[in-house]
Structure 1
């Protein structure tokens, strides 16, 4: 799927420099950044969900451990 990504001049220049440093295209660097963002946020959401579901089950034991 094609899309248009509008960057500020500063963002575009930073992306250009990073791509040049890595000898990669700006598109490759941007696509990797998107993948890493989605992956890291997906893991955080999963952890939050597990904690929301499991912490109440162990609340009493955790409270005792904290004393």
Structure 2
């Protein structure tokens, strides 16, 4: 599936430079960046969900960790 993404001149220059450093295509670098972003967001959401469940159960521990 194809998608059009518009970059500023500075973003495009940075993408081109990074692709050259890694000796990869700009497409590959951009796809990898998107994949990493999605993985980080999913991890962040998982941690937030765990804290929402565990936080109230472990209030004292969370307080002590916060003051450490």
Alpha-carbon distance in 2 for matches of 1:6, 1:45: 27
Q: Which runs of 5+ in 1 are unaligned?
A: none
Indicate the residue corresponding to 2:14 in structure 1: 14
Q: How many residue pairs end up in the alignment?
A: 65
Say if 2:55 and 2:62, in contact at 8 Å, map to a contact too: no
The C-alpha deviation readout for 1:44-63, integer Å capped at 9, x for no partner, is 1100001001110121x427
Matches within 5 A, 1:1-67: 1-59=1-59, 61-62=60-61, 65=64
After TM superposition, the score normalised by the length of structure 2 is: 0.85
SS in 1 for 2:2: coil
Q: Which runs of 4+ in 1 moved over 6 A?
A: none
After TM superposition, the score normalised by the length of structure 1 is: 0.87
Please give the root-mean-square deviation of Cα atoms over the aligned residues, in Å: 1.8
